[in-house]
Amino acid sequence: MTSFTLMILSGDGIGPETMAEVRKLIGWINARGDLKIGMQDGLIGGAAIDAHGVPLGDETLERCRTVDAIMLGAVGGPKWAGAAYDKRPEAGLLKLRKELDLFANLRPAIVFDALVEASTLKAEIVKGLDILIVRELTGGVYFGEPRGIEDLGNGERRGVNTQVYTTSEIRRVGRVAFELARKRGNKVTSCEKSNVMESGLLWREEITALHKAEFADVALDHMYADNCAMQLLRNPRQFDVIVTDNLFGDILSDEAAMLTGSLGMLPSASLGAPGTPGLYEPVHGSAPDIAGQGKANPLATILSFAMCLRYSFDQGALADRIERAVHDVLNAGTRTADIMAPGCREVSTSAMGDALLGSLE
Ligand code: NAD
């Protein structure tokens, strides 16, 4: 039997509620007998601050290094919002990404047929959309030095951030994008601003060289990031995998996400070097406004777990089956409040998890 260990960091707000549905799903997988997923639990975010005074304890971090993959619910909430930045729940998540050097952030934007009307774009533009944005996550302008705000002494101040990338930083995220494209539509669009930025020119040259050397079988396009922002609205289905830097990826992945219309449906993954545990989490936050009410949509967390099965456990067939079950449940009109539509049946978080298991059966 194949076995894996999974660290579960439920976090705050709706995190524990949506993660409970993943636990149910893991129970179902383990009961089938051909795959065994062992679960460990750890604290992160506000829950860790309350227990240990820090948003991610060293002991939890060390355990995270030893597992095969990590599932995270969500962190944050008004209770901890006033603290210094390094004492806030979000600092725990940033520390985890940094310590594990999770440099590639994967954000799929999939439009489920049953939810096509939830998009702000016309159905004929987004129907069947299935794109994957690969964002560089640990370099670029969010981390580059020098940075800061300085007083120029004449009543003026100057704010500085530095956009900086090296060959290896570009190539390792490019490699992730090309390898993923080979398992999907076999096409990569690389986005930068090489028309006005040297770091963008280097990005284009390195991606081109990597493509030529190792991935000539994959179709490659280059696009300026501003054009990509427009094309995502004009004709999003032209894309398969988009690879881009930290800043442009931050913006383009949020734009692509909104083509799908619903925050409660969006999964993500953050991957590092081979052998590093991947981190899987929904895109949404801890939703304090609905926490504890059984209203949260668990599907983003469940779809994140499907990504974990696919990318960390190499269980693509099982991931496909779970994604198909999500389609089926939605097609049957089962909805949590956030994706409710006329004629559908509104259910709680746990009833959505049960419906998914029913469909898998
Ligand atoms: P949010 O994503 O928590 O919520 C935004 C809106 O979407 C809310 O109205 C919420 O009820 C709704 N929503 C989100 N997820 C949902 C789901 N699964 N089902 C149904 N409705 C859902 O964003 P926010 O309100 O800006 O932030 C709340 C807290 O979460 C803050 O502390 C923020 O810092 C934190 N946050 C954490 C993460 C993370 O853990 N990765 C991401 C974003 C925000």
pLDDT, tens digit, 9 for 90 and up, residues 165-215: 999 999 999 999 999 999 899 999 999 999 999 999 999 999 999 999 999
Residues 224 and 93 both lie in one domain: no
Q: pLDDT-based confidence at 15, cuts 50/70/90?
A: very high
The verdict on 215 and 347 lying in the same domain is no
Which of 219, 241, 266 corresponds to the end of one domain?
266
Number of domains in the chain: 2
Domain co-membership, 28 together with 77: yes
- In the annotation, is 254 catalytic? yes
State in Å: Cα 279 to ligand 1 middle: 18
- CATH number of the domain where residue 90 is located: 3.40.718.10
Cα angle: 37, vertex 42, 46; to 5 degrees: 140
- Min mean pLDDT across 27-31, 120-124, 189-193 is at 120-124
pLDDT (0 to 100) of residue 258? 86
Query: What's the distance, CA 203 to chain centroid?
Result: 22
pLDDT for 263: 86
Query: Ligand 1: distance of its center to the CA of 336 in Å?
Result: 15
- Give the pLDDT score at 174: 98
257 and 298, same domain (yes or no): no
Q: Report DSSP letters for 109-177, one per residue.
A: EE--GGGGGGSSS-HHHHTT-EEEEEEE-SSGGGT-SS-EEEE-SSS-EEEE------HHHHHHHHHHH
Q: pLDDT-derived band of residue 290, with 50, 70 and 90 as boundaries? A: very high
pLDDT at 1: 84
Same domain, 71 and 153: no
Whether residue 223 sits in one domain with residue 138? yes
Which of 266, 286, 312 delimits the end of a domain?
266
Tell which atom from ligand 1 comes closest to the C-alpha of 297. 19
Catalytic annotation present for 101: no
Q: How confident is the model at residue 262 (pLDDT cuts 50, 70, 90)?
A: confident
Same domain as 149, residue 289: no
Query: Same domain for 122 and 196?
Result: yes
Read off the pLDDT of residues 61-76 as tens digits, 9 standing for 90 and up. 999 999 999 999 999 9
DSSP type of residue 275 = T
292-340 pLDDT, tens digit per residue, is: 999 999 999 999 999 999 999 999 999 999 999 999 999 999 999 999 9
Half-sphere exposure of 274 (CA within 13 A, CB side): 4
Given the CA of residue 301, which atom of ligand 1 is nearest to it? 18
pLDDT digits (tens, 9 = 90+) for 36-64: 999 999 999 999 999 999 999 999 999 99
pLDDT value, residue 247: 96
- Does pLDDT of 261 surpass 80? no
The strand pairing partners of 250, in sequence order, are none
262, 293: one domain: no
Task: Check whether residue 233 and residue 178 sit in a common domain.
Answer: yes
> Looking at the structure, do residues 211 and 313 belong to the same domain, yes or no?
no
13: left (phi over 0), alpha (psi -120 to 50) or beta: left
Which pTM was predicted?
0.93
The torsion angles phi and psi of 174, rounded to 5 degrees, stand at -60, -40
- Structural domain ending residue among the three candidates 266, 283, 300: 266
Helix (H) or strand (E) holding 212: helix 198-214
Q: What is the mean pLDDT of the chain?
A: 96
**pLDDT tens digit sequence for 213-243:** 999 999 999 999 999 999 999 999 999 999 9
pLDDT value for 218: 98
Query: Residue 120's pLDDT band (boundaries 50, 70, 90)?
Result: confident
Asked if residue 268 has pLDDT above 90, the reply is yes
In this structure, are 121 and 231 located in the same domain? yes
Specify the pairing of strand 267-271 against strand 278-282: antiparallel
Region 258-274: mean pLDDT is: 91
State percent of the chain over pLDDT 90: 92
| Domain extent for 21 | 1-103+272-361
Spell out which residues line ligand 1, taking CB within 6 angstroms. Answer: 14, 74-77, 90, 93, 263-264, 281, 284-290, 296-297, 300, 338
